[in-house]
Chains A and B, each alone.
Chain A
């Protein structure tokens, strides 16, 4: 017995030594909170219910892409888990829910939290806790512009100001005599767009913009404001409005027998909404917008590898409408997240992941328009800054010209 015991002990000792050698031969893998040998835990807050519930599907689409990645081996053997909580678009909910994700669920990072006010409300907290707040789902300019003060926070989509600068460029080169009327939502989103337009037009802004009207989200219809813009003699209408108000505005413009050139912001240009506007009686003549994501309803992408991948991934979400522009947005931002995690490799620490996301991104995203590069450098923290002008052809959007690069215009 004694000999057997000592023999086993000897074998065990040898095995231990071997294991130790194996361990020292490869560099020890670095991990952090929220990372186990099998899992990467990410947190997300979104408006799953309430007035802004239309955005809720973004989280489900992101989860669908993560499921697709997990089913294909995950990231170095680790599966991504996305914990999604409903903040009803109210910052007073976002704060405790984010604390829950960080302190109770012990997430690795926040990913794609939705809403400007809601994500602003937890920015100080997350930066204080040194938890990455990655790729927030809002186009406010502050995410890139105030990066130096909040190095744990990063945006993703093109900032609204950059987009309206593209419109301004189009006006100043092609429509120099335009009389501009602006309808904008009275919040950060509408004001950001307006600022970009005013800055982009420069000194001619005061003469070219003949009138600007505003409405609150609680308003029933922007009809009165549109009548005023028409009466002010505007021949070019800018709609810095969310989807619901955009549909109403487009229909009202036609009902007023008004035929201005219309510039439509990218949040409200998915084909689904254009279809509803058409049914509501909108003529949809001379409508211009910009895009950076492939539109799932556009037949030109039918044979596109990226679109096929999107349709394969979104099938993992039973309640997601494949034609909803928000869903391909979700899949595209999830792609960037996966890309960053893959690059982090065995060094899966918050610091490393954050460094890659904020300074070293250089990605061709298959769900974005050809040529759009998701890019960050040590001096530029606006990941997407390229967009293309598109015009409405009656049934879909036609890409015009080439990609316009706004990189470097916003600081």
Chain B
């Protein structure tokens, strides 16, 4: 055990630090900020799902907001109409959405890249209208107001013991979201390192070669869709818990775009990528819209334009910059920087000792 800890590569320690950071975070920030970070983590979960689909299996989806909507409504209907405990409905909503995603993956098999993107985009476009139809079930345009979140006594007592202050519902929602994020990221990490993940990547990189190696192409493609939708469903369900109210307007087309932008910005086909992407996708529009008007050096005409264009313009600018300077997202940039730093440090050390560094290709 001790041996394993000592030889653990640095990224394991990074994981420990990140987990501890997110676990302790709400004790130092305000309750409202904890609520904001919960929403960022919710986006991170949905982006993780999208990442499995886009980053690892190579299928494009512009409609993940629709799966979030399905998960949110599944939970809300179970909680509101059938009086189930909301926490119990979260995994159910995830599984239901996963099944729907799996079924959607079957016809999606017949569509290649661009057509699949269009089909999923259509799903995102019609979802708000579809939700409005069964008024009795979904509340139509009025949406569903959920009962207020009740913090369990155990969590309350524990939090008071640690911090000395009472736990708010936002903080409780944060910890529920954090727990789901932890489990789902761990599952994704396991998935992509093992057989299914390898198969998906093989399909992404060369479908014919993968088929020739005996990989069940359609099976893994639909599986990726199902798992991806499951993540989005859980994220949607958690969104309902965090906001206490869902309606068709909660899931506009732009949500799906927001998720894809987050996935690309964070870094596709990486595990920490979606976490960074979620934080980025949540905070960038809010912060930029509140920050830009306070800057007196920016001409008022530009401020007015930026405010009117809203998040879209900041997303656009950041995306263009990233595509130029960091085509592999934030994680790609960080990895490249770390590798370069390590090479340089090793080079310096080796020069001092007179040791010739090995050819990188043979390592």
Contact = CB atoms under 8 A, between A and B. Distances in A.
B249 A90 contact: yes
A98 B77 CA distance: 25
Contacts of B140: 188, 191
A92 B40 CA distance: 12
A92 B170 contact: no
Contact of B32 (A56, A90, A104, A318): A104
B233 interface: no
B252 A90 contact: yes
A389 B245 CA distance: 37
A128 B169 CA distance: 12
Contacts of A117: 141-143, 247-250
A117 to B, nearest CB: 4
Interface stretch (A46-54, A174-182, A394-402): A46-54
Interface stretch (A25-33, A118-126, A222-230, A296-304): A118-126
From A93, A115, A191, name the one whose CB has the most chain B CB atoms within 10 angstroms: A93
Given A49-B311, A103-B32, A96 B39 contact: yes
Given A85-B290, A99-B35, A118-B249, A91 B129 contact: no
**Which range holds the interface residue count of chain A?**
35 or more
Interface stretch (B193-201, B301-309, B323-331): B301-309
Contact of B250 (A53, A91, A102, A122): A91
B129 A53 contact: no
B145 A91 contact: no
Contacts of A88: 254, 285, 310-311
B38 to A, nearest CB: 9
B27 interface: no
Contacts of B250: 90-92, 117, 121
B243 A121 contact: yes
Nearest to A142: B142
Interface string A80-121: 000001101111110111011011100000000001111011
Contacts of B285: 88
Contacts of A319: 304
A116 B247 CA distance: 11
B132 interface: yes
A120 B143 contact: yes
Contact of A92 (B148, B243, B290): B243
A409 interface: no
Interface in A216-256: 216, 218
A91 B249 contact: yes
A121 B247 contact: yes
Nearest to A101: B32
B307 A86 contact: yes
Contact of B309 (A49, A118, A123): A49
Contact of B245 (A53, A56, A91): A91
A298 B47 CA distance: 52
Interface residues of chain A: helix, strand, loop or mixed (majority) = helix
Given A86-B289, A96-B39, A104 B239 contact: no
B289 A49 contact: yes
B56 to A, nearest CB: 27
B225 to A, nearest CB: 24
B200 to A, nearest CB: 30
Given A91-B243, A121-B243, A124-B244, A48 B249 contact: no
A95 B129 contact: no
A186 interface: yes
Contacts of A92: 39, 239, 243, 250, 255
Given A91-B243, A120-B247, A53 B308 contact: yes
B180 to A, nearest CB: 18
A89 B141 contact: no
B65 to A, nearest CB: 10
Interface in B225-244: 239, 242-244
B300 interface: yes
Given A216-B129, A218-B129, A120 B308 contact: no
Contacts of A115: 249
Interface of B: 30-33, 35-36, 39, 125, 128-129, 132, 140-143, 145, 148, 170, 239, 242-250, 252, 254-255, 285-286, 289-290, 300, 304, 307-312
24 contacts: A48-B307, A49-B307, A49-B308, A49-B310, A50-B254, A56-B308, A91-B247, A95-B244, A95-B245, A99-B32, A99-B35, A100-B32, A100-B36, A104-B33, A117-B141, A121-B143, A121-B245, A122-B245, A124-B145, A124-B244, A186-B132, A191-B140, A191-B141, A318-B300
